[in-house]
């Protein structure tokens, strides 16, 4: 029987690569996107079903839940990966940005988990993976709202792990310097690598390997795994 997954934020970077890896593993993938559609068009050619939703709009999230419930009576894997990343100056001067941080990282995952609980329970290995951040434990003072929202998602991971057991497992991955952004200059990259014990940019494969590890180990729930080259040790 074909396994089914929903990956949020599947249009680029980790969301895109993990969705592609799951398709290669034989999954039917619902590839969520907001505005980053280029990657989702590529995933669609590989067999993914694109689903659009603006996670700052609760009605959009509810509509996405309804579509997945209609098309997939069983959901084996939900990866809450969609994210928005704003510094203090941005959220202090833009109320919509401040609201978006908590809507995308807290409200949307909550609605997806509660709305798709039955579909996840219908699987013989229902699994939710929340993508948090190494800063959930030691927040950056430059990104206070973002870190607080990710910490809320980490807390939600543990709460839902208790609530949904034994039918559904809930775990988290805390990424570190896995993939630099195009705007990161060499000075920034060297500073980050100097603060990372393994001194390498991890790439996306370790994250995908961790998704598969959590999927294939049925005795793990309520756990958060750092994939950061040891950087959290120096925060």
- Cβ(153)–Cβ(130) below 8 Å: yes
**How many C-beta atoms surround the C-beta of residue 194 within 10 A?**
9
Placement of tokens 């995933």 in the chain:
43
Please confirm whether the linkage preceding 210 is cis (ω < 30° from 0): no
Per the structure block, which two tokens stand in for 86?
């704003």
Of the candidates 107, 119, 40, 33, the one whose C-alpha atom is nearest the C-alpha of residue 75 is 119
- Residue 30 β-bridge partners: 6, 49
Strand order from edge to edge, sheet including 224-227: 49-52, 28-33, 4-7, 77-80, 126-131, 168-175, 224-227
Among 27, 33, 135, 146, the active-site one is 146
| Overall size of the chain counted in residues | 235
- Cβ(157)–Cβ(108) below 8 Å: no
Q: Is 135 a catalytic residue?
A: no
Cα–Cα distance measured from residue 147 to residue 145, given in angstroms and rounded to the nearest whole number: 6
- Residue 130 β-bridge partners: 80, 172
- Cβ(64)–Cβ(116) below 8 Å: no
Give catalytic residues, as residue numbers. 146
């Amino acid at each position: 029987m074909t396994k089914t997954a929903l990956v949020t934020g599947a249009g680029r970077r980790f969301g895109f690569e993990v969705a592609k890896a799951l398709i290669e593993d034989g999954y039917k993938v619902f590839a969520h996107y907001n505005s980053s559609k280029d990657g989702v068009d590529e995933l669609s050619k590989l067999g993914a079903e694109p689903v659009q939703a603006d996670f700052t709009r609760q009605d959009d999230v509810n509509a996405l839940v309804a579509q997945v419930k209609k098309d997939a009576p069983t959901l084996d894997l939900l990866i809450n990966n969609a994210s928005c990343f704003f510094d203090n100056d941005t959220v202090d001067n833009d109320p919509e940005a401040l609201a978006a941080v908590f809507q995308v990282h807290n409200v949307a995952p909550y609605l997806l988990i509660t709305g798709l609980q039955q579909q996840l329970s219908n699987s013989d290995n229902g699994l939710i993976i929340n993508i948090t951040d190494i800063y959930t434990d030691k927040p950056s003072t430059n990104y206070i709202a973002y870190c607080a929202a990710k910490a809320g998602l980490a807390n939600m991971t543990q709460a839902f792990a208790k609530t949904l057991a034994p039918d559904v497992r809930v775990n988290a991955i805390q990424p570190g310097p896995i993939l630099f952004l195009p705007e990161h200059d060499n000075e920034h990259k060297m500073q980050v690598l100097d603060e990372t014990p393994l001194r390498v940019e991890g790439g996306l494969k370790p994250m995908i390997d961790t998704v598969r590890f959590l999927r294939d180990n049925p005795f793990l729930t309520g756990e958060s795994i750092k994939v950061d080259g040891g950087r959290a040790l120096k925060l």
